[in-house]
Structure 1
Amino acid sequence: MAPTDVISWLLDTDPALRWQVERDLLDAPSEQWEATRARIPYEGFGAALLERQDADGQWAGGAFFPKGFLQDPDNAELPGQPWTATTWTLTTLRDWGMDPAPLIERDTAALLAKNSHWEYDETLPYWGGEVDCCINAMTLANGLWLGAEVEALATWFVEHRMDDGGWNCEWTSGSVRSSVHSTLNALVALAIHERATGGTEATRAARAGGEEYLLERRLTRRLSTGELLGPWVDHFLYPPRHIYSALRALDHFRLTDRRDARMEEAVEMVREAQQADGTWLQQKVLPGQVWFEIDVPLGEPSPWLTLQALRVLRWWNEGVPG
């Protein structure tokens, strides 16, 4: 495909993706992409997810897992967890940029406060979060989106940041070293918190320190040995769920508009993954039950990854001295 063909291919997709192409790649007038974004709750992927919301405000009857999932011993043998419960579904809708108005009209935040509790400890209210950094990151971001009271979760991230600068979901098991997966998820939430509220001195410092943790590692390599962080660094996937990659990390820095020379290797990984036809391939698919497929199978050109990669490279190139 020629560049114009790639754009046409991207435009021939769901409104959840198409509006971002219009805004981020075509610089379309705001009234155009806003009109496309406004269609998310009423057609395609967004409408399909909204249709699956339970009367109690949840999806699949649970906060992080579907109702009863952890009680079935056969599920322990499954290759992956389900991605259908409340937290994953809200995160997906928010990531697509859907206006939360339809969920607010359904009183979703209040329903979840009343009816949803964490499988980790069913005494914990939904908007209070639990102990997992990635779960709390999604809850903080989703709560801000829906207008729930989640300021205590922003403080939680300040209090649970590790000495090396980041976060790790395994802290409850005794880990004292940060994880790039957990750290990126925490940074995404803290950046959303800062955009929504201005943040506090402590949350802004935590975000800056967490970003430095990733930059010290060039977004790609272990600080101790210089080896790649893992085989997933340059294996791009959509939806990423909780998985770290160089592309996801760069997209975070794009949103915070912070360029740094230490990102150059990560940028090169994105460039090298582009195919001759201008697209990026789906390089990994996480196992687990979904409501429906929203991207392509392994090895096929991915509209979602192509959008993300093109806008990351565009942002990076705009900041490179002429």
Structure 2
Amino acid sequence: MASSGSVIDWLLDSDPAIRWQVMRDLLDTPEAEWQAERAKVETEGWGAALLSHQDADGQWAGGAFMPAGYTQEKWRELGQAWTATCFSLQQLCEFGLDPASLQARETIRLVGQHSRWDHDGQPFWDGEVEECINARTVTAGVYFGVDVSPIVARLLGERQADGGWNCERCNGSDRSSFHTTINVLEALLAYGRAKGITPEIAAARRAGEEYLLERRLLRGLTSGAVVDERYLAFLYPYRWRYDVLRGLDYFRAAGGVPDQRLAEAVAHLRSKQMADGRWRLDWSLKGPVWFEMETVGEPSRWITLRALRVLRWWNENAGR
């Protein structure tokens, strides 16, 4: 296997959105240094490219969830579009755009003023009815300093009896979904850290985490079989999708001593590491994007960054 140093060098020879996270999460660089690198997201690379596509009213592609004029026919032909406001804000959060920057503050103001959800015209920062969408709105809102407490209260009241969440609840589903559960857990983690962990948030997170842990992040509770082979294949950007790495990265972000029920998922993560120490981008979601960052089947800096920080957390804490 190639030395970790060569992989780190490869990660650093990248976009500011990758570099600052490598500096913070893998190299323990002093905060002033990684913050200086993070500030470049606004003016260089992928962050600047995404901001360049922003509409004058603060939105992207003229819509909250769907681009303006994106018909069902286009969806069937091209796939879901990932260019509208909610997905662009999600991506800027993951890039690390400084929420205190002038452009970020103006963006959030304009989105609140102009963007309305496709479902029923609800103001963007009020959320809508689907748990996955509302969870990602909470995550973005917390990141950019918006009060999203009413959406959090709604999510807390929508937990399923088995401990997780499912965005098909409004269509009658009474069982949780890996996809929706990871979106909500990420939102509650972010909200709790920003606003304080209430007993209700702590209980909801424990229930959602137990839903995933009981299933080892990948298996059906009754059958023991892998729920979906796509959970074992890594993608980025993941949008609303769940995979094993996203689940592991959530538990890493939550911190603490790793639960041993994560061991099978960690072993799977290790099994996918290539001989040179990197991981591939296994697949990507169909549909229009503003630009491609990586190529399916090729080594992925996003996957490698997330995998290495998960393994670092596991190796340093699992034996406690």
Q: TM-score, normalised by structure 2?
A: 0.96
TM alignment of 1:82-97, pairs within 5 A: 82-97=81-96
Q: Does 1:164 align with 2:162?
A: yes
Deviation readout 1:59-117 (Å, 9 max, x if unpaired): 11000110121xx3421422521111000000011112221133666533332222111
Q: Does 1:132 align with 2:130?
A: yes
**Aligned equivalents of 1:20, 1:134: Cα separation in 2:** 25
Residue 47 of structure 2 corresponds to which residue in structure 1? 46
Q: TM-score, normalised by structure 1?
A: 0.95
Q: Does 1:101 align with 2:97?
A: no
Q: CA RMSD in A?
A: 1.4
1:217 deviates by: 0.7
In the superposition, relative to structure 1, how do residues 179 and 83 fare at CA in structure 2: closer, same or farther (>3 Å)? same
Are the equivalent residues in 2 in contact too, given 1:38–1:98 (CA < 8 A)? yes
Residue 233 of structure 1 corresponds to which residue in structure 2? 231
Q: Does 1:145 align with 2:143?
A: yes
Residue 290 of structure 2 corresponds to which residue in structure 1? 291
In the superposition, relative to structure 1, how do residues 15 and 205 fare at CA in structure 2: closer, same or farther (>3 Å)? same
**Aligned equivalents of 1:188, 1:73: Cα separation in 2:** 30
Q: Does 1:114 align with 2:116?
A: no
Report % sequence identity: 51
Are the equivalent residues in 2 in contact too, given 1:103–1:146 (CA < 8 A)? no
**Aligned equivalents of 2:104, 2:252: Cα separation in 1:** 32
Are the equivalent residues in 2 in contact too, given 1:251–1:312 (CA < 8 A)? yes
Residue 24 of structure 1 corresponds to which residue in structure 2? 25
Are the equivalent residues in 2 in contact too, given 1:52–1:59 (CA < 8 A)? yes
Residue 240 of structure 2 corresponds to which residue in structure 1? 242
1:203 deviates by: 1.8
Q: Does 1:67 align with 2:68?
A: yes
**Aligned equivalents of 1:100, 1:241: Cα separation in 2:** 20
1:152 deviates by: 0.3
Q: Does 1:34 align with 2:32?
A: no
Residue 58 of structure 2 corresponds to which residue in structure 1? 57
Are the equivalent residues in 2 in contact too, given 1:237–1:285 (CA < 8 A)? yes
Aligned length: 318
Q: Does 1:15 align with 2:16?
A: yes
Are the equivalent residues in 2 in contact too, given 1:81–1:288 (CA < 8 A)? yes
**Aligned equivalents of 1:74, 1:230: Cα separation in 2:** 28
Residue 269 of structure 2 corresponds to which residue in structure 1? 270
SS of structure 2 residue aligned to 1:100: coil
Are the equivalent residues in 1 in contact too, given 2:55–2:61 (CA < 8 A)? yes
